[in-house]
Amino acid sequence: MKIKNQQFGEIEFNKNSILKFENGIFGFEELKEFVLFDSKEKIFHWLCSISEPEIIFPLFLMKAIDKDYPSEGKTEAFGVVTLNSDPTKISINLKAPIYINSQDKQGKQVILDNSK
């Protein structure tokens, strides 16, 4: 399968790699299907909407920041990155991580109720 967006051009993916977000992502609740792919540098992951490919979220694996960050089995936590041309203004949302289960192809965003 293929989708196309302005930033990455044509993105090829396997139908079996589609991630389902039952409740969407905060602010984008209507978007339910995404594909996750790595950047060439392997620093960021990109979560791209299948129905609206111009909607794409840069993600950072939380375990890269905190090796003890909780995960369960095949579920990994990612922080949504806010990119900026000024590197000192790049940030990661630690309060609302995205959890992705690579085995059952399910994802969800959770608002954490802690100060970590």
Domain boundaries of the chain, sorted by first residue: 2-109
pLDDT at 51: 97
Sign of torsion over alpha carbons 61, 64, 66, 68: positive
pLDDT tens figures, 45-104? 999 999 999 999 999 999 888 888 877 778 999 999 999 999 999 999 988 999 999 899
Of the two residues 108 and 94, the one the predictor is more confident about is: 108
For 2-109, which CATH class?
A: mainly beta
pLDDT at 98: 96
Residue burial 7-25, b: 16+ Cβ < 10 Å; e: rest: eeeebeeeeeeebebeebb
Residue type, 68: D
pLDDT at 109: 95
